[in-house]
Structure 1
Amino acid sequence: MHVLALTTNDDAPFMNEQMRIMERRGVSFSTLSVSGDGRAGHSRGPTDYLRFLPSVVRESANGYDLVHAHYGLTAPMAVAQLRKPVVLSLWGSDLYGPVEPISRACAPLCDEVVVMSEEMRRYLGRDCTVVPDGVDLEKFQPGSQSRAREAVGWSDDEYQVLFPYTPKRTVKNYPRARRIVNAVNGLVDRPVRLHTVYGVDHDAVPDYMNAADALLLTSDSEGSPNSVKEALACNLPVVSTDVGDVSDRLEGVSPSVVASDDEKLIEGLRTILECGERSNGREAAREISIDRTTSRMIEVYERVV
């Protein structure tokens, strides 16, 4: 199959990893990305999307089997081309945030809609396929913490907590993470340092996962956060708010904590730091390995074609 992929972010690691595995299995891709600056703290204007439409219409005539629209804001252009069947992948913020009306309006016009979690499927309230982004178990695997800390420049004299987003993304609620770490700082025997890790080469992320003592996720909403799955693959304990599919992903994983209020998040992080153990998350991560999730996405493509 030959697929035209539409995206607002052609640097998205999870999307590119999935395409890489699918290309090994005979699916080829051409990618069109909306022009302009879509980084956190920036925004594209309507003109950027209007310019995107004619390029999609022109390119769709070039022998593709289907159009795969990644993120709800690309869906109007995907369905406007009229030539080829459309698969729409919703990533999370395009269903729970201001883009929701666009995603909902376009979903019935697409041949298949793919969401990241059962929670997203229930919230959308229509037939769709649940395919979470997979994790590369060859890239993300447990490693020596001391070696990883040397690689990322973190001290052994402190507890190291990983917050895997930029503070500028308000939905990730960095102030809450900061508040929780500040509270735990007074309860344990060593200083606790909160690291915001974002914008680094994806190949370096496993070092950060192995260097950390815990992953802290305080998001207000999520679809299926990749950072949690990557932490599972590295046996890094996770402390998270109850968002997206986090509860499902962490079922049976210990030590890890899912909670809704600050008091339980604080106590959970304190307990994990003091016990100093890695989790058994890698076994749970096998269920959402990138090889398995890619097979499910190819099945979606085959149904559409």
Structure 2
Amino acid sequence: MEVLTLTTYADAPFMTQQQAALEERGVSFTTLSVAGEVAADTDRRPVDYVRTVPRVVREAATGYDLIHAHYGLTAPLALAGLRTPIVLSLWGSDVHGPVAPISKAAAPFCDAVVVMSERMREALGRECTVIPDGVDLERFRPEPREQAKQRVGWDDEGQDVLFPYPPARGVKNHPRAERIVSVVDNLREEPVRLRTVHGVDHDAVADYMNAADALLLTSDSEGSPNSVKEALACNLPVVATDVGDVPERLAGVDPSVVATSDEELVEGLLAVLERDERSNGRVAAREVSIDRTADRLLEVYERVADTVIDTETEGEQWRVVGTGWLE
């Protein structure tokens, strides 16, 4: 099976890991990224998407079994592929944020839509497949904390709370994380530090997970945050806001806390740090291993490739999509 991938971020670790797992299952990928530059505090311009359309048309015409569009803003580009079946994967902010209207408008014209959580499916308001991004259990696994601290250059004094996102990403709410850790630091006898880590090689993230005493997620919205699943795989306790599939992922994980207010975040983080124990999260992480999620996505690929049929009726081109017809 040959797949054309459309994305706004070609180096997204969860996407490249997913592709690697699917390549082991016989899928080949060509990745086409939206034109223009993007950073944590810089979005692409509308013209960048417009000037990407001809590239999509030319590439799709070379023949693919399907187009996999990652993120809602790439869905209109995928539709330019005309007769090629489309799988649309939504990432979270494209369902809960300002991009949501585009995602909702484009989704009915795609042959399959994949979301990361039940909350995303409810927000999208249409039938779709829930598949969280998987975590690589070989890369993310428990290691001795002291050794991990040495590798990342942290000293042995006090406790370290990991925030693995750029502060510029507003939806992650870094100011709230700073506020929560500041309060907890004042309540603890030993120092408590917020460790904001971003821009490091993805292979090194596991070292930070194993070196930290807790992961703090203060996001305003999420789909299925990969940092939470990676923390689970390393048995790192998690204190998080009630967003995305976090309650489902942390069900039965101890110690870990899901909170809805600053007070609950403070109390939860304080309790986790006072216990000073690793969690049992790796058991829960097995449910979202990269192998399991890749198998489920491959089923979607195969279903779409098998159920889309091209035919000609009085000179017009049609596609069979499920039980309906699209001209």
What secondary structure does 2:79 align onto? helix
Give ranges in structure 2 of 5+ residues lacking alignment: 306-327
Corresponding position of 2:218:
218
Corresponding position of 1:76:
76
The 5-angstrom pairing of residues 1-305 of structure 1 reads 1-305=1-305
Letter in 2 for 1:25: R
What secondary structure does 1:171 align onto? helix
Alpha-carbon distance in structure 1 between the residues aligned to 2:177 and 2:59: 44
Structure 1 or 2, whichever has the larger Rg, is 2
Alpha-carbon distance in structure 2 between the residues aligned to 1:84 and 1:280: 44
**Superposition deviation, residue 237 in structure 1:** 0.1
Residues 45-82 of structure 1 show CA distances to partners (whole Å, capped at 9, x for unaligned) of 11111111000010001121000000001000101221
TM-score by length of 2: 0.92
Alpha-carbon distance in structure 1 between the residues aligned to 2:38 and 2:2: 27
User: Is the Cα–Cα contact under 8 Å of residues 61 and 83 in structure 1 kept in the other structure?
Assistant: no
What secondary structure does 1:41 align onto? coil
Alpha-carbon distance in structure 2 between the residues aligned to 1:271 and 1:46: 46
**Superposition deviation, residue 212 in structure 1:** 0.2
**Superposition deviation, residue 261 in structure 1:** 0.8
Residues 281-305 of structure 1 show CA distances to partners (whole Å, capped at 9, x for unaligned) of 0000000000000000000000000
User: Is the Cα–Cα contact under 8 Å of residues 240 and 265 in structure 1 kept in the other structure?
Assistant: yes
User: Is the Cα–Cα contact under 8 Å of residues 235 and 280 in structure 1 kept in the other structure?
Assistant: yes
Alpha-carbon distance in structure 1 between the residues aligned to 2:57 and 2:232: 41
TM-score by length of 1: 0.99
Residues 212-258 of structure 1 show CA distances to partners (whole Å, capped at 9, x for unaligned) of 00000000000000000000000000000000000000000000000
What secondary structure does 1:154 align onto? coil
What secondary structure does 1:186 align onto? helix
Residues 105-130 of structure 1 show CA distances to partners (whole Å, capped at 9, x for unaligned) of 10000000000001101111100000
Alpha-carbon distance in structure 2 between the residues aligned to 1:16 and 1:68: 13
Alpha-carbon distance in structure 2 between the residues aligned to 1:121 and 1:95: 9
Letter in 2 for 1:229: K
User: Is the Cα–Cα contact under 8 Å of residues 73 and 103 in structure 1 kept in the other structure?
Assistant: yes
The farther-off stretch of 191-200 and 225-234 is 191-200
Alpha-carbon distance in structure 2 between the residues aligned to 1:161 and 1:300: 38
Corresponding position of 2:310:
none
Alpha-carbon distance in structure 2 between the residues aligned to 1:290 and 1:146: 28
What secondary structure does 1:285 align onto? helix
Corresponding position of 2:311:
none
What secondary structure does 2:52 align onto? helix
Alpha-carbon distance in structure 2 between the residues aligned to 1:63 and 1:109: 20
Alpha-carbon distance in structure 2 between the residues aligned to 1:46 and 1:126: 26
Alpha-carbon distance in structure 1 between the residues aligned to 2:233 and 2:304: 32
Letter in 2 for 1:162: L
Residues 69-112 of structure 1 show CA distances to partners (whole Å, capped at 9, x for unaligned) of 00001000101221200000000011111111110110000000
Letter in 2 for 1:197: V
Letter in 2 for 1:150: Q
RMSD: 0.6
Give ranges in structure 1 of 5+ residues lacking alignment: none
The count of residues paired between Structure 1 and Structure 2 equals 305
Alpha-carbon distance in structure 1 between the residues aligned to 2:45 and 2:124: 26
**Superposition deviation, residue 189 in structure 1:** 1.9
